[in-house]
Amino acid sequence: MPRILSGFGKAELNAILSLAKHQQFVSPSVIIHQGDAAERLFLLTSGQGAHFVIAKDGRKLLMHWLTAGQIFGGATMLSYPSTYLASTEVQTDSCSLVWDKRIIRELISRFPLLLDNALSIAVTEHVAWFMAAHVSVSTEDASARIARLLVSLACGIGKNGPNGIEIQIGNEDLAAAVNVTPHTVSRSLGEWQRSHILSKGRGKVILHRPELLLPSG
C-alpha cells in the first residue's frame, strides 16, 4: 500500500482513487518542470524516476529517486498557489495516478489524513535523504559517495538478476547525484569492475558483491 494512502478504509480508498486519472509515460520523459505552477499530484504506480534541479552553471543535479508507490508534485496539495521546487523525470516506461489541484484539495478537506501522510513522507523520506546526502558530501571522498549511492540504489531501484543486482543508471546520472565528474565515476567503476565487485553495461550497473563497496565496522 502506498504510504500516501495508508490508514484508509476500503470505501475511502475507492473514493480517492475514483477521482484520479491514469497516465502512461514513455522513458525518458520530464513529467513536471522546476518552477512551473504546481497543479498536479502524481502517484507512481509502475516504473522509476528521479527529481532533479538545474544548477546556475547548467549542470543537472539529481536529488531523489522514485519508485512505484511514491508521490511527486506534492506542492499541489498546498492551499495557496505554489510552484514545483524540482523537475521530475521517468527513467523507465512508467504509469501514474494523477489528481488535479482542485480535486486533491477537495479530497484533503474530506480526508485530512492525506495531508498528514504527505507530511510524514516529506519528513521521513525526503528530509532524511537530503540530510544524509549533505553529510556524505561533507565527510566522504568521491569514491565513498559513489559506493554509498550504489548500495542505496540497489536497495531502492535495484532488480535481482542471474548475475547480481541490476541498477538502471548511467555514469552522468551517478556523477550528478554525488557532485563528481563522470570521469571520476568511470574511474571508480573501473576499479570495482577489475575487483569483480560489479560489472558495467550500457546505462546500467550490475552489483555482484555490494557488501564490498562499503567499509566494514
Determine the Cα–Cα distance for residues 106 and 112; give it in Å rounded to an integer: 10
Q: What is the pLDDT of residue 62?
A: 78
Sign of CA dihedral 157, 169, 123, 6: negative
- Cell 507512481: give the residue: 44
- Cell 504509469: give the residue: 95
Q: What is the pLDDT of residue 216?
A: 56
Q: What would the pLDDT profile of 71-105 be if each residue is shown by its tens digit?
A: 999 999 999 999 998 999 998 899 999 999 999 99
177: part of which helix (H) or strand (E)? helix 171-178
Domain ranges of the chain: 3-118, 140-209
Distances 87 to 6, 113, 122, 126, 200 between C-alpha atoms, Å:
26, 26, 16, 15, 28
The listed CATH number (3.40.50.300, 1.25.40.10, 1.10.10.10, 3.30.420.40) that belongs to domain 140-209? 1.10.10.10
Mean pLDDT to the nearest integer, 104-131: 82
Taking the domain 3-118, which CATH number applies?
2.60.120.10
Determine the Cα–Cα distance for residues 76 and 38; give it in Å rounded to an integer: 5
Domain pair 3-118 / 140-209, same fold = no
